[in-house]
Structure 1
Amino acid sequence: MKALVIGATGSIGNVVATTLESRGHDVVRASRRGETSVDVTDPASIAALFAQVTDVDAVVVAVGSVPFKPLAELTRDDYLAGFTGKTLAQIDVVRQALAHLNDGGSITVTSGVLAREPIATGAAAAMANGALESFVITAAAEAPRGIRINAVSPDVLENSPGYHASFPGHRPVTDDEVGTAYVRAVEGVITGRILPV
């Protein structure tokens, strides 16, 4: 299977790409800065990526930028930045991938624990994650040509200790747990699912 992993230099994307490669898949690693480059906030850049990378069976998107501030300090622009940087960016990939994926392919986006568990300063991230998860449920029902759409929703990552203090009481998830969830989304038969890790 040929898989395109967008955000492959990040903490999650690298785990996904490495896991899929270990399972024998042909993985194309794309990121903002890399041999295969893409800026997911720019629809023209996404289009150029799909013009360059063809014959794809799976697309995984592990990107997203959201502001973290106390609720009373979040502005409309902060919410817009969170929606644009995490939600709309991944939706744009889904939108364009539908026309380029092989029949029966899969698209997996990345939300996060803040869609279901609150932390201080997490309101904008919760909004972005929740919107993305709601989109997946309905978009999967309408996807053409047997294409499956899912979201993986990880908790704070064990491989990112700098974030642990912001998630009190959370059990950081391992690379193996994260990789397994993406394998289920990419290789399995499920669609329209949110896979919490």
Structure 2
Amino acid sequence: MKILIIGGNGTIGKKVTERLSHKHEVIVAGRHSGDVTVDFSDSKSIKSMFEKVGKLDSIVTIAGDAKWDKFNKLSEDDFYIGIKSKLMGQVNVVRIGKDYLNPKGSITLSTGILADDPVDMTTSAAMVNGAIHSFVKAVALELENGIRINAVSSDLVEDAYEKYKDYFPGNTPVPMSKIVDGYIKCIEGIITGRIIRIMA
């Protein structure tokens, strides 16, 4: 398969890219590096990216920002960071990218445990993750040409444990191989409309 991974150089993305590269043609898109660059918050940039890479069998997004702060400190603009980047970035990948997928292609989005089990200072990020879950379940009913869509939602990952452990007291980090398996299930399997929750 010809697979585009947006965020393929990130903590999770590079492990997904590495695994998929053994069997498939993988194209990596990133903000500053990769086979092609993209501004995830700009639909015109997303469209330009797809024009450059051409027809695909699978699209994977492991990207997007959201503001972390106390709810009382979050401004309206702070909420729009996550809405414009992680939420609408992924929605626009589906909206635009579906036209570049071959029949029976797939789209895999990324969220995280905050949708189900939020922690302190994650009101905005949790909201965005939950919205993506609802989007995936709804849009799966309407995608045409046999196109499938799923989302991978993981707990705190091993490779980011030291950086984020203080935010997630008591959360057992998830092995990276287990998270990669979740993406493989979505890409190489036949499921659609699913939220694949990965926990330790």
Q: Contact 1:15 / 1:178 at 8 angstroms: preserved in 2? A: no
Structure 2 matches for 1:103-118, cutoff 5 A?
Answer: 103-118=103-118
SS of the counterpart of 2:103?
Answer: strand
Distance 1:45 1:109 in 2: 18
CA shift digits 1:13-65 (9 cap, x unpaired): 1111112113x111001101123111111111111111111221000000010
Distance of 1:165 and 1:25 partners within structure 2: 37
| 2:173 counterpart residue number | 172
Task: Give percent identity, aligned residues only.
Answer: 40
Q: Is the 8 A contact 1:63 1:110 kept in 2?
A: yes
Question: For residue 196 of structure 1, what is the amino acid of its counterpart?
Answer: R
Q: In the TM superposition, what is the alpha-carbon distance from 1:81 to its structure 2 partner? A: 1.2
1:189 matched residue in structure 2: 190
Point out where structure 1 has 5 or more consecutive residues left out of the alignment: none
Indicate the larger mover: 137-146 or 33-42.
33-42
* Inter-partner Cα distance in structure 2 for 1:174 and 1:25: 23
Superposed counterparts of 1:32-51, under 5 Å? 32-34=31-33, 35-51=35-51
2:8 aligns to what SS in structure 1?
coil
2:82 is aligned to 82
Whether the 8 Å contact between 1:58 and 1:186 is mirrored in structure 2 is yes
**TM-score relative to the length of structure 1:** 0.97
Q: Distance in 2 between matches of 1:16 and 1:96?
A: 23
Distance 1:86 1:72 in 2: 22
Counterpart in the other structure of 1:29: 28
Between 1:98-107 and 1:71-80, the stretch displaced more is 71-80
Moved more, 95-104 or 13-22: 13-22
Where 2:99 maps in the other structure, the secondary structure is: coil
Shift of residue 2, structure 1, vs aligned partner:
0.8
Q: Corresponding residue for 2:71?
A: 71
Q: Which amino acid aligns with 2:41?
A: T
Could you tell me how far 1:145 is from its partner in structure 2? 0.2
Partner Cα distance (1:193, 1:12) in 2: 20
In the TM superposition, structure 1's runs of 4+ consecutive aligned residues that sit over 3 Å from their partners are none
Distance 1:46 1:90 in 2: 10
Match of 1:98, SS?
A: helix
1:122: which partner in 2?
Answer: 122
**1:158-194 superposed Cα distances (whole Å, 9 cap, x missing partner):** 1012011111111111110111000000011100000
Q: Mark the runs of 5 or more structure 2 residues left unpaired by the alignment.
A: none
- 2:175 maps to a residue whose letter is T
* Deviation for aligned residue 1:156: 1.1
Question: Are 1:96 and 2:99 counterparts?
Answer: no
